[in-house]
Amino acid sequence: MDRLWGAAVAVLLVAIVFFLMWRGWQRRVRRDATRASMSEQLELDLGDVLASWRGLYVSTSERLNVLERIAAPGLAFRAQARIVLAERGLVFELRGENATVIPLANVDGVATTQLTIDKVVERGGLTVIDWRIPGENGQLDVSSFFRLSTSERDSLVAALQNVLTRKLKETT
């Protein structure tokens, strides 16, 4: 009989923990849904497609706080991804989600890293794209992390750095 009570208490504690985790995620989704949805800009004319890459989307987090995951629509869950670079922007197409469109003016940079929230890989194994989400309360600086093959990663970094350098020269 004592074991039955112990098991019941353990099951109850596990259920409470899962309920609190679910509640926390729902709160995060509501918070991030109020931020500007980048998928609303699908009509934005990005110009001709320059290149695209395929890989795994890992996460998007606040740039200075990589443990603060962004759960905005189109960015909340890990998924197979296609990254499209166009003349005037980037598109993140995640399987099962609406596309996230980022005007090139909102892209700050690209680099490689080793870790992000819940993912650690070999040195330089993650590609990180820094960008800004405009919102009613100012902009939010974020970083999106992708796991690509070595050739895809190198190609993406080179192409995006080239486009960003060209953009910088045009504005100065």
User: Tens digit of pLDDT for each residue in 43-93?
Assistant: 567 888 889 999 999 999 988 888 888 888 888 889 999 999 998 889 999
Residue 105 within any structural domain of the chain: yes
Residue 8 within any structural domain of the chain: no
Which of 143, 161, 103, 127 shows the shortest CA–CA distance to 53? 127
Determine contact, residues 145/131, Cβ cutoff 8 Å. Answer: no
CATH number where 102 lies: 2.30.29.30
Count: domains in the chain = 1
User: Tens digit of pLDDT for each residue in 117-138?
Assistant: 878 888 889 999 999 987 767 7
